[in-house]
Amino acid sequence: MENLNSTEELKISLLSLNEKELSELLEEIHPADILDVLRKEEDVRGEILGRLPHWLVADILEEMDEEEQTEFLELFPELEQYKIFNEMSSDEQADLLSNLEPEEVDRFLDNIDEEDAEEVKELMNYEEDSSGGIMATEFVSIRESMTVKETLNYLQTATIEAETVYYLYVLDEDEILKGILSLRDLVTAKFDTVIRDIMTEQVKSIPVNMDQEEVAQIFEKYGFQAMPVVDEKGEMLGVITFDDIIEVVREEDSEDMYRLGGLNEGEIIDGPAIESVKSRVPWLFINLLTAFLAAATVNLFSSTIDKVVILASFMPIVSGMGGNAGTQTLTLIVRGIALGELTIENAKKVFFKEALTGICNGLCVGLAVATIGYLWAGNPVFGLVIGLAMLLNMSVATMAGYLVPVTLKKLNVDPALASAVFVTTFTDVCGFFFFLGLATMFLKFLT
The three-state secondary structure class of 225 is coil
Sign of CA dihedral 125, 127, 131, 134: positive
Cβ(262)–Cβ(421) below 8 Å: yes
Say which amino acid occupies 256. Answer: D
Residue 267 pLDDT > 80, yes or no?
Answer: no
Backbone angle region of 181, left / alpha / beta, with phi > 0 → left and psi within -120 to 50 → alpha? beta
236-241/206-207 β-pairing: unpaired
State the pLDDT at residue 123: 86
CATH numeric code, 273-446: 1.10.357.20
Question: Which ranges of 301-379 does DSSP label H, i.e. alpha helix?
Answer: 302-307, 310-339, 347-377
CATH code of the domain occupying 141-239: 3.10.580.10
- pLDDT average, residue stretch 381-387: 94
Q: What is the pLDDT of residue 279?
A: 67
pLDDT digits (tens, 9 = 90+) for 363-372: 999 999 999 9
Q: Is the pLDDT of residue 52 over 50?
A: yes
| Separation CA 383–CA 101 (nearest Å) | 65
Proportion of the chain above pLDDT 90, given as a percent: 37
CA 286 from chain centre, in angstroms, equals: 25
Q: Is 189 helix (H, G, I), strand (E, B) or coil?
A: coil
Mean pLDDT of the region 205-227: 88
Q: Say how far apart CA 398 and CA 386 lie, in whole Å.
A: 18
Judged by average pLDDT, the poorest of 37-46, 226-235, 293-302 is 37-46
Is residue 36 scored above 50 in pLDDT?
yes
Q: What is the pLDDT of residue 1?
A: 44
Where are the domains positioned within the chain? Answer: 7-134, 141-239, 273-446
The pLDDT-based confidence of 433 (bands split at 50, 70, 90) is very high
Closest by CA to 124, choosing from 116, 68, 79, is 116
Distance separating alpha carbons of residues 246 and 225, to the nearest angstrom = 11
3-state helix, strand, coil in the chain (%, to 5): 65, 10, 25
Pairwise pLDDT comparison (285 vs 192), residue with the higher score:
192
- The residue type of 291 is A
Q: What pLDDT, on the 0 to 100 scale, is given for residue 260?
A: 63
* Local confidence band at 342 (pLDDT 50, 70, 90 cut-offs): confident
CA 397 to chain centroid: 27
Domain 7-134 sits in CATH at: 1.25.60.10
State pTM to two decimals.
0.62
Rg (CA), the chain: 30
